[in-house]
Amino acid sequence: MANTLTFLDLPVDILWLIFPYLDARDFLSLTSTCQALHKSDFVHDAHFWSALVRNTFRVPNQPVVQNDGERWQKLYRRLLTQSRIYTWGSSSEGCLGHSYEPPIMGVTPLGVPPRARRSRLMAASWPEPMDNTQGLGVVSDVQCGGWSTSLLTAKGAVHTVGTLDADHWARRPPSRRQVPTLSPTPLKYPPSYVPPHQRYDPSTAIKQFSSGRAHVLGLSDSGRIWSWQNVELAALHVRFLHHETRENQESGPGTVRKVVAGWNKSAAFIEGPGIVVWDPLQREYDDASVEDAALVMETAVVPNTGYRRPRNKAQRANENDARLAETVGEVLNFVLLEHVVLVNTSIGKLFAAQIFWDDGQPRIAEPIELALSAESGNADAAFTTDVQGSFRRFAVFTRAGEVLTGHQDRITDLMQGVPSEQPLFKRIAALQHKDVISVAFGDYHFHALHSSGYITSYGTEPQASGALGLGGHGDPEGRLRGIRYQSVNRDGLLVPHAYAEGRRVWFEHEKRDWIRFLTAGGAEPEEAAERIRMALGSPDVRCRGESASGSSSRAGIGSPSS
């Protein structure tokens, strides 16, 4: 009698091919059928769970934890029930999405009661939940602009609070200025398109978006690029005079891989030409509302970024591709700074290219390699796995678990041959081998998100705005946590030793009550008065005595701050 072939007799490679066709319920049912399939290698299959999370909720890829299947599985479960948005810092133009304080009533000098008015909460030094997000469903990504906070939902809709471009429109007559949106408002499309929050359409459902200082770019499921600069005006479909983009294809020439909205430029990674850079588009109130596309006349391409590894034997690499494969590699990620494009590639290299934008002759210089020094001969410390950044600062991730930070000015000095004693990269102790998966940069401060869910803060808090999220506004709890407020402009500087372990952002109200209890003197205020004065009295950043960061605090996927 012939042996009967069972499911477990199938090669493991066949199982890996079956898993992508299952949903979460079927996958868990299959791996629960027997002990052989209930092993961690199957239950926590990183490829299955990462693809499921990214495809279901449109969560951005995270190369640093790409192979952590257990984390992707937990993220899937929590996104279904625990997705919340917290913001903190300056609430200029209502960009935090926080509620108003109770109406302020009074009497005018003439004795006539004035019209009720409400005072907006202008800053938050602790994380506070954004209002009116309950009806959005699962929020998969959140990014901050100069005067706005934008959210991407699992439906592919981008919602915004605040004002996208307060600077440009502030010079217009009052009737033509952008009015801040105080609740999450879906970005608009031309009249002939269905917005994704109403009904799914692959041409409008956004799978990846980027928020720059004054504009937002979105990449739809079909591969179309959309650009917004005003919440009140419809998007523009971005097309190029010199570069073809194709929709509804997984790969091939013209496929758009990623869009990035920078400080003053826009960029897209397109198969074929590579990284294409252009000026942000402008739509005016006088423009016809039926206009749905704009043709970009002037673009610049980052040299040597168009190489793609052959995906099958039919695709043969030419001589130039063979050279790029060995010297540059395939682009994995890139960031668009104010005057520089940073690129990391598949062979672990990091490149920088300077942007020159003269009228009528935009160009981008040949990229130069930024070599990472490998300490103690560790090759993984010199292998770049990811690069993140905005405006003038950036972070480089290595295969050894290190995170290096840098500034655009140091790169431009290197390109122009300007001698400098400053190192190209800084190694902040609190970021090394601490499972950092994402770094979000503001103008003067930045936050690091760690894989276990907590957030640490670094940098300067302008005018005691609360941007570090450590409490304060100049109050004692901020100083006890390591912020030293300067007397002239009220900028808050972190003490140097705060960079040794990092200062964690607290989401629990119990911890906030505890730090206030300490600054009030604890159980015996009189006895503690002298110690509190010594710990809080000096604005010198060299002064010690602040509270430690405390235990881990859980942050949702949308928690990095304003």
Q: Tell me: the pLDDT tens digits for 29-44?
A: 999 988 888 888 889 9
Q: What's residue 298's pLDDT? A: 95
Determine the average pLDDT of the residues in 223-252. 96
* Phi-psi sector, 204: left (phi>0), alpha (psi -120 to 50), beta: alpha
Contacts 24+ apart (CB under 8 A), 257-261: 258/208, 258/219, 258/333, 258/334, 259/208, 259/209, 259/210, 259/217, 259/218, 259/219, 259/225, 260/210, 260/212, 260/217, 260/334, 260/335, 260/336, 261/210, 261/211, 261/212, 261/215, 261/216, 261/217, 261/336
Q: What's residue 556's pLDDT? A: 34
Res. 534 pLDDT band, cuts 50 70 90: confident
Residue range 124-174, pLDDT digits in tens:
999 999 999 999 999 999 999 999 999 999 999 999 999 998 876 566 666
Residue 428 contacts residue 87 (beta carbons within 8 Å): no
- Rounded to whole angstroms, the Cα distance separating 403 from 387 reads 9
- Rounded to whole angstroms, the Cα distance separating 50 from 66 reads 7
Q: What's residue 478's pLDDT? A: 87
Has residue 68 got a pLDDT over 80? yes
Residue range 351-364, pLDDT digits in tens:
999 999 987 789 99
Determine the average pLDDT of the residues in 333-344. 98
Res. 374 pLDDT band, cuts 50 70 90: low
Determine the average pLDDT of the residues in 532-555. 55
Determine the average pLDDT of the residues in 464-471. 92
Has residue 109 got a pLDDT over 70? no
Domain locations in the chain as residue ranges = 10-75, 132-258+270-297, 302-310+324-427, 457-536
Has residue 55 got a pLDDT over 50? yes
Has residue 61 got a pLDDT over 50? yes
Residue range 395-439, pLDDT digits in tens:
999 999 999 999 999 999 999 999 988 999 999 999 999 999 999
What are the structure tokens assigned to 332, written together? 């994995």
Q: What is the pTM of this model?
A: 0.88
Q: Give the chain's mean pLDDT.
A: 87
Determine the average pLDDT of the residues in 50-56. 90
Has residue 258 got a pLDDT over 80? yes
Q: Which is more confident, 11 or 500?
A: 500
Q: What's residue 544's pLDDT? A: 52
What are the structure tokens assigned to 241, written together? 């005079």
Q: Which is more confident, 295 or 536?
A: 295
Residue 219 contacts residue 170 (beta carbons within 8 Å): no
Residue range 324-338, pLDDT digits in tens:
999 999 999 999 999
Has residue 453 got a pLDDT over 80? yes
In the chain, % of residues over pLDDT 70: 86
Has residue 105 got a pLDDT over 80? no
Has residue 542 got a pLDDT over 80? no
Has residue 221 got a pLDDT over 80? yes
Q: State the DSSP code for 199.
A: S
Instruction: Name the amino acid, one letter, at 446.
Output: F
Q: Which of 42-56, 247-261, 464-478 shows the highest mean pLDDT? A: 247-261
Q: What's residue 283's pLDDT? A: 85
Determine the average pLDDT of the residues in 117-126. 68
- Rounded to whole angstroms, the Cα distance separating 196 from 317 reads 40
The DSSP bridge pattern shows strands 293-296 and 236-240 to be parallel
- Rounded to whole angstroms, the Cα distance separating 100 from 128 reads 13
Q: What's residue 171's pLDDT? A: 64
Q: What's residue 558's pLDDT? A: 39
Burial class (CB in 10 A: 0-12, 13-18, 19+), 420: exposed
- Least confident interval from 46-55, 102-111, 115-124, 273-282: 102-111
Please report how the helices 69-81 and 46-57 are oriented relative to each other, as an axis angle in degrees rounded to 10.
30
Has residue 488 got a pLDDT over 90? no
Res. 310 pLDDT band, cuts 50 70 90: confident
